[in-house]
Amino acid sequence: MAQTPSGSGTDTTTLAAGARGARRRARSVDPIPWWLVAIVVVVALYFMLPTLFVIPMSFSSASTFQFPPKGLSLQLYVNFFTDPVWLRSLGNSFLVAILAALLATVVGTAAALGLHSLTGRWARLARTLLMVSIVTPGIVLAVAIYITFLQWRLVGTPLGYVLAHAAIGVPFVLVSVTTALGGFDPKLLRASASLGATPLRTFLRVTMPLIGRGIVTGAIFAFVTSFDEVVIALFLRSPLFQTLPVQMYNSVTVEIDPTIAASSSLVVVAVTAVFLIPQLVGGRKRTRRS
């Protein structure tokens, strides 16, 4: 699959990026009114405020919750990274989130591709069914999954977590891949076939590069959804296997352990990093223009 960029390829890439930059500047010549800026600042603060509390608290030297934090230490991080219970739940969360995101991405992408070429009542029905978990209250979903998984003996197993979290991740992938397919010319599939590529090769060499951003975006949403999912995880937990959000919940309700501040900060940083990846990668890549 390795593409072989020719010598002049890099020149044209920068050239194209330059042209895009110029267009972006030209587009933003309209002055932005001050009240719009004010609204943006208020909304941004509203979303970020909890984070602004929790991160300073994680560097506190006190053994209870305090704000503003008294003293400055890495004690809570030491607690987190030396306690096998915290570490194991962090590892479990990563394991579940990665596998669930992977599964959701494959299923969601396949569903988006299939539904893209279909029209009519049955396609709409299938699309709605796949989106149902996004509007179902989490607790209803959790109870349903719990009852089903009891029968299937999946409660408390990693497989159970992966399946449940993949199911709630699929809609995100479906939406982002469907959006990406909106700008995709289906004639390219015929062109590729006429040039001798099998459907699988066509997917790898044409479809995937062109809708790759949609797939990656969907995968990230699926990962994050799983990583901080707590309601279903509470039902599925077992003494042998629990995820980080469940351990965080335990630490507050059972032990009142301030280590949660450190773990919360870590989750914030991890999730933010994951969201920034496509921005950094995508910034260098050419996107399709027609």
Partner 1 sequence: MSQATSRSTLAAPAGDAGTARSGTRIRLTGVTKDYGGAIPAVDGVSLTIEPGEFMTLLGPSGSGKTTTLNLIAGFETLTAGSIAFDDADVGSLPPHRRNLGMLFQNYALFPHLTVAQNVAYPLRERRVPKAEIARRVRDVLDLVQLPGRDGDYPSQLSGGQQQRVALARAIVFDPNALLLDEPLGALDRNLRSTLQAEIHRIHREVGSTFVFVTHDQEEAMNLSDRIALFHNGRIEQVGTPEALYEAPETLFTARFLGDSNVFPVDAAATGSVAWEDRVWPVLPGSVSPRVAAGAPAALVVRPEHVRLAGSPDAVPSGASSVVASVRDVEYMGSYRTALLALGAAGLPGKARLEASDARLAPGDAVVAWWEAERQRMVAA
Residue 188 binding partner 1, by CB under 8 A:
yes
Identify whether the C-beta of residue 266 lies closer than 8 Å to the C-beta of residue 228.
Answer: no
Residue from the set 190, 240, 256, 269 that interacts with partner 1 by CB under 8 A: 190
Is 22 a binding residue for partner 1 by CB under 8 A? The answer is no
Q: Residue for token digits 């279903």?
A: 232
Residues 195-234 touching partner 1, rule: CB under 8 A, are 195-202, 205-206, 209-210
Least distance from C-beta 207 to partner 1, angstroms? 10
Q: How far apart are CA 89 and CA 233, in angstroms?
A: 12
Q: Does 116 bind partner 1 (CB under 8 A)?
A: no
Among 42, 185, 240, 277, binds partner 1 (CB under 8 A): 185
Residue with tokens 């930059």: 21
| Position 11 contacts partner 1 (CB under 8 A) | yes
Q: Which of 14, 16, 134, 153 binds partner 1 (CB under 8 A)?
A: 16
Residues 233-272 that bind partner 1 (CB under 8 A): none
Output the smallest distance, CB 186 to partner 1, in A: 10
Query: Which positions from 25 to 44 touch partner 1 by CB under 8 A, shown as an x/- string?
Result: --------------------
Site for partner 1 in 74-113 (CB under 8 A): none
* Residue 56 vs 209, nearer CB to partner 1: 209
Among the listed residues 86, 263, 117, 93, the one whose alpha carbon sits nearest the alpha carbon of residue 203: 117
Residue 43 token pair: 């909304």
Of how many residues is the chain composed? 290
Alpha helices in 28-157 (DSSP H): 34-58, 75-82, 84-116, 121-135, 138-152
Burial 99-137 (b: 16+ CB within 10 A, else e): bbbbbbbebbbebbbebbeeeeeeeeeebeebeebeeee
Radius of gyration of the chain (CA): 23
Bridge partners (DSSP) listed for residue 238? 241
The residue range among 22-30, 158-166, 193-201, 222-230 that interacts with partner 1, by the rule CB under 8 A, is 193-201
For position 3 contacting partner 1 by CB under 8 A, the verdict is yes
Residue 8 touching partner 1 (CB under 8 A): yes
Contacts of 59 (CB under 8 A, 6+ apart): 69, 72, 73, 74, 76
Instruction: Select from 48, 52, 191, 276 the one that contacts partner 1 (CB under 8 A).
Output: 191
Alpha helices (runs of H) in 136-230, residue ranges in sequence order: 138-152, 158-182, 187-194, 199-202, 208-227
Chain positions contacting partner 1, by CB under 8 A: 1, 3-9, 11-12, 16, 185, 187-188, 190-202, 205-206, 209-210, 286, 288-290
